[in-house]
Structure 1
Amino acid sequence: MRTRHLLLVATPLLLLLAVSSDLTAKVSARCPDPESVTLYPGKPCNRQQCKTDCASKYHGGVGVCLNPKGCYCEYCLDRPSAHAASPLRPRHD
């Protein structure tokens, strides 16, 4: 009886841990050492706006509402940006 009760309590906790670790892996699997920022701290998080704003402001960043207020945005610094300056060209004087 006691073992059964322990299993009934432990199983949902293990499932919850597995789901939360999957979310972390999905977000941070994009690069070896991602950077992150919280967009709109203290304001309600709109899932679509979070995704769109993070991707546009941080060149392909991944935005996720992790709590009701604020947008967690994770991005890679080593990705080339579309707005990067072109390489310097030699001057022909």
Structure 2
Amino acid sequence: MQRNDDHSGCQSYVNTNETNLDFLSRFAELDWESQCKVVEDVKSHVENNEQLCHHVSYENSVEPLIRFLRYAQFQHDVRAQKSGSQLLIAFVSNKS
């Protein structure tokens, strides 16, 4: 994983009303703590706007989230696993 301590670029996407969550495909460039923060922010944003899930791209949002969850499991990071799982459930349950 590359180190980049500035997650404000991804966070700015979360803070907008943008309906396209494809920016998750780029968050792998961030350090682990920033990735966790982005997942938390996106989860919060999705909880406040369930319509966003209807615009989720599998390739650009769900696949990176699954990679995040695998790494969280590898790191034994229970908090990241919980946040990532909750976000994935939100994507899947609101997609239909």
TM-score range, shorter chain: under 0.3
Which structure shows the higher strand fraction?
Answer: 1
Which structure shows the higher helix fraction?
Answer: 2
Considering Cα pairs closer than 8 Å and 6+ residues apart, tell me whether 1 or 2 has the greater RCO.
2
Give TM-score, length-normalised by structure 2.
0.26
Give TM-score, length-normalised by structure 1.
0.27
Larger radius of gyration: 1
